[in-house]
Copies of this chain bind each other. A is one copy, B any other.
C-alpha cells in the first residue's frame, strides 16, 4: 500500500506517516520507483500507536516496544501481552480519574473550591 492510502485509512497526513517512518515507528519497503510500500498491518499498527499515545506514551517509547516486537516469531503473542499491559494501565488511569473526580466533587460542593486539601 502506498503512502496516500495508508494516510487515508489511518486519518494521518502523509507528512505524519513519513515522520513516523523517519522516527522508526514504521518501516516500509520501497517499490522500484522509490515509493514507499506499506504492508496491510501498518493500518492496525498505527491504530495501536495512537492508542498508546493517548495513554501517555511518547513516540520514542512506542517505537522501542515496536522494535522489540519486530521480527519476533511470536509477535502476535507478544503484542497480545502488550495490549494486556495497556489494559492494566487503562484500569490504573480510570482509578486515578475516579479519585480526581471524587476530589473535584468535594471541592465543587464546598463553598471554597481552592482551599488547600
Which residues from chain A sit less than 8 Å from chain B, CB to CB? 40-41, 43-45, 47-48, 51, 54-55, 76, 79-81, 83-84, 86-87, 90-91, 93-94, 97-98, 100-101, 104-105, 107-109, 111-117
Indicate whether A113 sits within 8 Å of B51 (C-beta atoms), given known contacts A100-B90, A105-B87. Answer: no
Number of copies: 2
Instruction: State in angstroms the CA–CA spacing of A12 and B10 once bound together.
Output: 38
Contacts of A55 in B (CB 8 A): 100
A-side interface mostly = helix
User: Which residue of chain B is the closest to A102 with respect to CB atoms?
Assistant: B87
Instruction: State in angstroms the CA–CA spacing of A40 and B80 once bound together.
Output: 49
Instruction: Pick from B86, B93, B104, B107: contact of A104, CB below 8 A.
Output: B86
Contacts of A40 in B (CB 8 A): 116
Instruction: Pick from B84, B101, B109, B111: contact of A108, CB below 8 A.
Output: B84
